[in-house]
Amino acid sequence: MPVRLLILLPAFFLLLACASAPKEKPVLPESEPMKTVKHHDFFEQGISPEAKTAEGLFRRDMHEITEDEIDDLEHEPLTEAEKEALETETCFDFVLDARETQAMENYFKLYTHRYRNSFEIWLKRSETFLPYIRDVFEERGLPLDLIYLPFAESGFNTRAYSRAGAAGIWQFMPGTGRMYGLRVDWWLDERRNPFLSTHSAADYLEKLYGDFGCWYLALAAYNAGEGRVGRALQSSGHDNYFDLINGPYLAQETRNYVPKFLAILKILRNLEELGFEPINWDAAPDFKELEIGPGTDLLALSGAAGLSWDEFKDYNPGFRRQVSPSDARVKIMLPRSKAKAAANYLESPSAREFAGYHRYQVSSGDSWWRISRQFGVPINVLKNLNDTRSDLLRPGQYVIVPASGSQHGHTASTMDYAQSRGNYEVRRGDTLWDISRKFKVDMQTLIAANGLSGNTIRPGQMLYIPGRVQASSGGQAARVTTTYRVTRGDTLWDISRKFNVDVKTLTAANGLRNNTIRPGQVLNIPGSDAVGEQGLRTTVYQVRRGDTLWAIAARYGVCPGDLQVWNNISSGQVIRPGDELEVRIQD
């Protein structure tokens, strides 16, 4: 007996271990990028600080029903108007069972009673974007009730991040966003662009309806992912939404998704009867789209358009930096009333491409890692900007750095950079309020542009005023002299218009007897908006095979945009081997 017991005991413990071992999680197919993107991978792209803040706000904003609230909600009474609203039909012919009907009623009470103020905020937010979304969905022939889906997804919060990493009013995951044409990287998160993401959402909803053949399953798949819903159908043996949600095949959140959306639709169809202000379909600004070049200084652009940085971000929440990407021309949306001033700025010399970058001189002990930490710019972005794969840096070398790295933290480096490009010297008695009024720049924009943590400034401090030219030693913004090399077809009148200088001033500054100029001639442009370049010497570089403006700029530690200005190279113009370029470098 003891021998038999000794033989059976190991077998018993082996079976016990197998029984208690955790089951292997199902592996999702590669065809479902929305769910294969890991949460930590999303944050490793540098999104973590803003995502954590936005996610906390999003969770408080969305007010998911907790188990503790369900019992209270079920016992809350309904008014006669609310009972009638619950009977309202929608364009979706949803037939709900008793459990779903109760879930819908719970969400209805949640948004009309307990979190009524939040729903009112959502309604106001929606007015900016609903007319645009309606036009897109009408053109695509999609059910118009779907335009209200962002109420269930994000409360129309353009900066919303979920704990899983979904973002924007349509709550795209990174992989799904990229699959449907949205850029998600260190520079941009176009999931937060309500205009671009609306087209992507329409594409995705069309695809889901094509996959499942009914809107119930399409909406469940929008919430949970098509792979998960497809596998639930396969494992359950069911072929319809109603049977599927009555089993344990989908998460509770997904089973409640349709009742939640239906509750929102019923509220929206009865706003005035329920005591809400109706949606004002004429409240949205008349938007105009503008294209901007690589490296555009967005702070200066917003200031020139008469917008604070926060206002610019409200219209263009997809930008994650105060400078546009280095590798592409991108589009911005502005109210039409502000677009003309912005367009004028974009045509001015101070808005040349790559103006949103500056040169950083490498010091002893510097490394890519240290510079990355100082400016809040990932190492791979820095190396791409400087067209290098090398890990080596030498003291005295110049590297190109975006004018602003992360918008969260790094205020010291922002302050250092603002000092280096400062164009206004603070005088005794100055306050930020006075300076903002003087230069017609929003105070919050001034604080952001200079990396300030408060309103305190001191006499002698150099401030960067977005859109203003370099300051002189006396503290006044100086209109300095720059140079321009004449190209074929140029006239003095063209050049005077380009630099906003009178023709007579041009002829006098260059000792011209008449208006005749020749290609290659270098003209002095007095009083232009270009920044002075004292202490620089000029050298000539002959373009070699394989050279690019980026590579040449990186070699000399200058900005590509400066190369374009010095050599009158227009955007998109090709340089060829044998071309001679003027390069201005530090003595």
Domain extents for the chain? 39-268, 287-350, 357-463, 482-586
488 and 349 Cβ atoms separated by less than 8 Å: no
What is the band of 424 on the pLDDT scale with cuts at 50, 70, 90? confident
Q: What is the 3-state secondary structure (H, E, C) of 495-531?
A: HHHHHCCCHHHHHHHCCCCCCCCCCCCEEEECCCCCC
Q: Greatest CA span in the chain, whole angstroms?
A: 123
- Top pLDDT among 484 and 131 is at 131
Look at residues 256, 154, 134, 156 and name the one whose alpha carbon lies nearest to residue 202.
134
Q: Tell me the C-alpha distance between 343 and 331, whole Å.
A: 12
- Stated pTM of the model: 0.59
pLDDT band at residue 290 using 50, 70 and 90 as cut-offs: very high
| Integer angstrom CA distances of residue 62 from 274, 348, 559 | 20, 44, 45
* Run of H or E including 583: strand 580-586
**Domain spanning 39-268 has what CATH number?**
1.10.530.10
As a whole number of angstroms, the distance between CA 444 and CA 34 comes to 37
Distance CA 436, CA 255 (A): 52
Q: Coil, helix or strand for 301?
A: helix
Do the strands 462-463 and 287-292 form a parallel or antiparallel pair, or are they unpaired?
Answer: unpaired
What would the two tokens of residue 134 be?
């309606």
Domain 357-463 sits in CATH at 3.10.350.10
What are the DSSP calls for 335-370, one per residue? EHHHHHHHHHHHHSGGG-TTTTEEEEE--TT--HHH
Average pLDDT, the chain: 75
Alpha carbon distance 505, 524 (integer Å): 10
Token pair for 351: 């808005």
Residues 272, 266: Cα–Cα separation, whole Å: 12
How is residue 344 written in tokens? 């004028």
Q: CA-CA distances (angstroms) from residue 47 to 41, 43, 113, 454, 536?
A: 10, 5, 35, 25, 38
Q: How far apart are CA 258 and CA 223, in angstroms?
A: 10
Query: 449: closest CA among 458, 440, 441?
Result: 441
Question: Is the confidence at residue 37, as pLDDT, over 50?
Answer: no
Q: Do domains 39-268 and 482-586 have the same CATH topology?
A: no
Identity of the highest mean pLDDT range in 186-200, 425-439, 533-547: 186-200
Per-residue pLDDT tens digits for 161-212: 888 889 999 999 999 999 999 999 888 999 999 999 999 999 999 999 999 9
Instruction: Tell me if 112 sits within 8 A of 77, measured CB to CB.
Output: no
Q: How far apart are CA 62 and CA 100, in angstroms?
A: 20
Residue where the block lists tokens 């799904």: 176
- In 3D space, the residue among 168, 171, 147 whose CA is nearest the CA of residue 222 turns out to be 171
Smallest CA-to-CA distance from 166 within 9, 336, 51, 287 is with 51
Cα-based distances in Å from 351 to 196, 495, 568: 25, 16, 14
Output the pLDDT for position 454.
Answer: 66
Please choose, from the candidates 439, 481, 482, the residue with its C-alpha nearest in 3D space to the C-alpha of residue 464.
Answer: 439
- Report residue 48 CA to chain centroid gap: 14
CATH H superfamily, domain 482-586:
LysM domain (3.10.350.10)
pLDDT tens digits, residue range 444-476? Answer: 677 766 767 667 788 778 787 765 543 333 334
> What is the reported pLDDT for 294?
85
The single residue of 50, 153, 226, 425 carrying the catalytic annotation is 153
Segment 223-277, tens digit of pLDDT: 999 999 999 999 999 888 888 888 888 888 888 888 899 999 999 999 999 999 9
- What is the share, in percent, of the chain residues with pLDDT greater than 70? 71
For residue 289, indicate whether it is catalytic: no
Angle at 60 between CA 71 and CA 81, to 5 degrees: 50
* Bigger pLDDT: 102 vs 204: 204
SS3 of 217-266: the string is HHHHHHHHCHHHHHHHHHHHCCCCHHHHHCCCCCCHHHHCHHHHHHHHHH
To which H or E segment does residue 14 belong? helix 2-20
CA end-to-end span of the chain, whole Å?
A: 96
pLDDT at 107 over 50: yes
d(CA 25, CA 45): 26
pLDDT at 43: 31
